[in-house]
Structure 1
Amino acid sequence: MPVHPAREVIGVLGFPFSKGQTYDGTEQAPHYLRDAGIIKNLQAQGNTVVDHGDVNLESLPVDEPNTDIRNPKSVGTANKKLSDAISRILKTNQSVLTLGGDHSMAIGSIHGHAQVEPNLVVVWVDAHADINTPLTSISRNIHGMPLAFLAKELQEYMPDMPEFDWCKPCISVRDIVYIGLRDVDPSEKVFIEKFGILAHYMEDVEKYGVKELIERSLSQIDPSGTRPIHVSFDVDGMDPALTPATGTPVPGGLSLKDCCYLAEEIAITGRLSVLDIAEVNPLLSSEEDRNLTMTNTVNVTTKFYGNRRKSITPPDYELPRPQ
């Protein structure tokens, strides 16, 4: 099944980066996810996959330790490189699977996507809203701010940050839908309510079910059913029992069944253009928990590209007959 009407090849791109938050480890996630078989599993489904390696982040600038926001130079420079790489791959008629990396990666990923497909919509699967500004953030970590850099309506609340001069706001709050929220800062709640951002908290998932929410979400942000879809999938959107190897786990998250159904429904649209996998941290768990996280992350990722739980008859399959 094609990934996108004009994008039948999946381009895999690693973003080995951890400066958007305080824990080392997310920079190792692309390596671990490849070792866990993410590419082999996609190919086994019949997908054509091109591995573009990792974004080269060897020469990032060094940040002053006393800045109000942590690591703005390195985060800004790394995401500019990611944005350029995403755009280049999309221009070759490939979709992109981006293996992060902390969730600051969404700045570069969505920005690069919008340079090629400005009509995109964003499905944000996460326990957190990640729409703090540098002025409202409690943690000062940019992985909690990516949507503030990208949304046009929030620019009046953003301070001048020369490190991100390249990142011109490229989406509207009307292009965003959240799924799985359960740890939202007060300022983020104000932004969500002020701008009417479509937000589904875990209470909504439990009340209505993922099936109704994803149908409602796609029909609201893309009533014509024609717009390219960008999914930014933070593994902490899942319940920590399923993905314990992550930096900011929040109990009571999405089940494996929820995530598989969501991914399968996105795949059925044929319009998935870019998928981010964010916040896998192999260093924050035991080997057993790390392996569990990798297994569940790979499982859900493959569902976005046509791996259905419902069996599909292979093409040209003939039942064997006795001779």
Structure 2
Amino acid sequence: IRAHSVAVLGAPFSKGQKRRGVEHGPKVIRDAGLIERLSNLDYPVHDFGDLSFPRLEKDEPFMHVPFPRTVGTANKLLSGAVSSAVGAGHTLVMLGGDHSLAIGSVAGHAQQCPDLCLIWVDAHADVNTPLTSPSGNLHGQSVAFMLKELQDKMPDIPGFSWMKPFLSSRDLVYIGLRDVDPGELCILKNLGIQYFSMRDIDRLGIQRVMEVTLDHLLARKQRPIHLSFDIDAFDPSLAPATGTPVNGGLTYREGIYIPEEIHNTGLLSAMDLVEVNPVLGASREAVEATAALAVDVIASSLGQTRLGAHATLEEIPSAKDTEQLRL
């Protein structure tokens, strides 16, 4: 199953949280060979480069939420860019940056595909509101902005007047959760959101998790999928260069099976790969391993298989054709 073309868009942004470095994520993911890898899958690949986000001089915290206007403005800009790329018929790959960028990415995608569904692969649920968030950081509140059911639980945050919630809680599935705040668990339970914690993956196996996920989202009708993949879903032994690592994450094989299965639906329409932070890698090797893993996830989402491509060779060469071998 092939998309017509892929658009890659970098979003070097870090103000959804307080650690510096994650703004360099797009560069290290590209340096790990992303564009070449996608070109090998026989897509036209359009690299739209990196967005440049305005620096706001004055951006006072709102309640205990830092940089609200900076994050809101950046996401408004990103949503327009994502909407244009998806509207032009590309499958979009957004490279973060921190996970607050999913606000603009999924919102822009939803402008073009209002019936989309969202698969959120992450150690964290990112569904705090400013009233439940222990840290105030907006990268832990992205999903709360999207959910219609939380509309009356979200205060009016400066910088976000452009943003209207667009997603129903039944159109979202989480995979990989293992560090969820009390307020978030309350939201998951109250809204009846489908989620698979790491314990659920232990119990069911990743194959069953993906089967139930896709059934939950697609049984009523086939619709565009948005995959939002936080690299910290993986175990920190595999993806050390990230801001909020949590032990006991996805294995390499589990983390690759997820995008493979999403690709096999033929419905992936846009994806985010976020929270790769090269400054937090203990060594160059740690950073390169994390970035290489990000490339593997993206390529698997777009049809790279673990068996390799066999379309290049249609039939077994015959021993009768030995003349060519002697030359």
Query: Is 1:170 aligned to 2:150, yes or no?
Result: no
Structure 1 or 2, whichever has the larger Rg, is: 2
For the 8 Å contact 1:21–1:143, the answer to whether it is kept is yes
The residue type paired with residue 228 of structure 2 is: S
TM-score (norm 2): 0.95
The AA in structure 1 aligned to 2:296 is N
Q: Runs of 4+ in structure 1 displaced over 6 angstroms?
A: none
Partner of 1:306: 303
Letter in 2 for 1:314: A
- Map 1:273-288 onto structure 2 (within 5 A): 273-285=269-281, 286-288=283-285
- Are the aligned partners of 1:121 and 1:221 in contact in 2 as well (CA < 8 Å)? yes
Count residues in correspondence: 319
SS of match in other structure, 1:283:
helix
The corresponding residue for 1:108 is: 104
What code does the residue aligned with 1:2 have?
Answer: R
**Contact map agreement 2:62 2:158 (CA 8 A) in 1:** no
- State which of 196, 206, 213 in structure 2 corresponds to 1:210: 206
Distance in structure 2 (CA, Å) of the matches to 1:111 and 1:126: 19
Whether the 8 Å CA contact 1:61–1:73 is kept in 2: the answer is no
**What pairs with 1:1-323 in structure 2 (closer than 5 Å)?**
1-3=1-3, 8-64=4-60, 68-285=64-281, 286-315=283-312, 317-320=314-317, 321-323=321-323
- Once the 2 structures are TM-superposed, how far is the Cα of residue 161 of structure 1 from its aligned partner? 1.5
Alignment partners' CA distance in 1, 2:11 and 2:296? 20
Q: Give the unaligned 5+ runs of structure 1.
A: none
Deviation at 1:66, TM superposition (A): 7.7
Q: 1:288: how far off?
A: 1.4
Secondary structure (helix, strand or coil) at the match of 2:66 reads coil
Aligned 8 A contact 1:219 1:225 in 2: no
Identity %: 47
Do the aligned partners of 1:26 and 1:101 also contact (CA within 8 Å) in 2? yes
The farther-off stretch of 103-112 and 224-233 is: 224-233
Q: Distance in 2 between matches of 1:99 and 1:234?
A: 10
Higher mean alpha-carbon deviation, 144-153 vs 48-57, is at 48-57
**For the aligned residues, what is the CA RMSD?**
1.3
CA distances 1:107-153 after superposition (whole Å, capped 9, x unpaired): 00010011000000000000000000011100110000011111000
d(CA) in 1 for partners of 2:11, 2:57: 16
CA distance in 1, matches of 2:62, 2:53: 23
1:60–1:77 CA contact under 8 A, matched in 2: no
1:226-280, CA deviations, whole angstroms, 9 ceiling, x for partnerless residues?
Answer: 1100000000001000000000000000111001111111001111011100100
- Contact preservation (8 Å) 2:118, 2:225: yes
Gaps of 5+ in 2: none
Distance 2:179 2:265 in 1: 29
Q: Evaluate the alpha carbon distance shift between residue 223 and residue 244 of structure 1 in structure 2; reply closer, same or farther with a 3 A threshold.
A: same
Q: Which amino acid aligns with 1:322?
A: T
How far apart are the structure 1 equivalents of 2:62 and 2:130?
A: 14
AA aligned to 2:289 is L
CA–CA distance in 2 between the matches of 1:210 and 1:193? 22
- What letter corresponds to residue 46 of structure 2 in structure 1? V
Q: CA deviation at 1:64?
A: 2.2
Q: Is the CA contact 2:23–2:97 (under 8 Å) kept in the aligned structure 1?
A: yes
Deviation at 1:317, TM superposition (A): 4.1
